[in-house]
Amino acid sequence: MLRRFFAVRQRTEEMLMQKKISKIPFKGTPEQEARLKAVIAECQGDQSRLMHVMQQAQGIYGYLPYEVQVMIAEGMGVPLEKVYGVATFYAQFALSPKGKYNVSVCLGTACYVKGSQDVLDKICAGLGVEAGECSADGNFSVEECRCIGACGLAPVFTINGEVYGKVTADDVPGILAKYQNA
Ligand code: FES
């Protein structure tokens, strides 16, 4: 039983480590670029400030698309792989924009053993959006998350913070319809 618990947890954590570069076209503005360049100029020559620059960049763009990672790497004089490595290691960094409605599915152990992967698959199929991505129209994004502290309601997902608990894959279309028709 204990072995199964750790196997499930390891699989969940491996899945959560996978962050994908967004396929949504980059739409940064000249103003955003100017703000990022100003932050980089302040920190240039001090690689210990890479995290700070990345945090500021996420504040400016809302996420860290490939193009922004390249600007940071070139500006800070560090390999692009290093910027990507930091962006994927820390949960605070997002590689994909958030949609108007952000669907967050818990893949923590309690939810996972109660079928949250099926719920996630149904959500992705219903919205035509992969986990970790945002729809082309910007309406929906889907992400995987760790335990949100509502294990008694497992499996759980949230939409813009509203909690849906004890859900099955069959419940998903009806819940999504409320937002698709909003
Ligand atoms: S594991 Fe999903 S809420 Fe705790």
Q: Ligand 1 mean position to 83 CA, how many Å?
A: 30
| 96: pLDDT strictly greater than 60 | yes
Confidence of residue 3 (pLDDT cuts 50, 70, 90): low
* CATH, residue 102: 3.40.30.10
Instruction: Write down the pLDDT at residue 178.
Output: 95
Q: Ligand 1 mean position to 114 CA, how many Å?
A: 10
Q: Specify whether 76 is located in the same domain as 122.
A: no
- Mean pLDDT value across residues 24-46: 94
Establish if 11 belongs to a structural domain.
no
Q: Would the CB of 145 count as within 6 Å of ligand 1?
A: no
| Percent residues over pLDDT 90 in the chain | 75
Q: Would the CB of 106 count as within 6 Å of ligand 1?
A: yes
Q: Specify whether 68 is located in the same domain as 118.
A: no
The residue from 42, 57, 89 where one domain ends is 89
Are residues 148 and 100 in contact, defined by beta-carbon separation less than 8 angstroms?
no
**In a 3-state reduction of DSSP, which class is residue 182?**
coil
Give the structural domain span for 50. Answer: 30-89
Q: Specify whether 126 is located in the same domain as 165.
A: yes
- Rounded to 5 degrees, what angle do the CA atoms 7, 8, 11 make? 85
Contacts with 19 (C-beta within 8 Å, 6 or more apart), sequence order: 87, 88, 93, 94, 95, 96, 132
The residue from 70, 89, 108 where one domain ends is 89
Best mutation site among 104, 119, 147 for ligand 1, i.e. most ligand atoms within 8 A of its Cβ?
A: 147
Instruction: Write down the pLDDT at residue 91.
Output: 80
- Where do we find the tokens 């962050």? 19
| Domain total of the chain | 2
Establish if 25 belongs to a structural domain.
no
Q: Specify whether 140 is located in the same domain as 161.
A: yes
Least confident span in 23-27, 107-111, 140-144: 23-27
Q: Specify whether 114 is located in the same domain as 159.
A: yes
**In a 3-state reduction of DSSP, which class is residue 106?**
strand
| 22: pLDDT strictly greater than 80 | no
Establish if 145 belongs to a structural domain.
yes
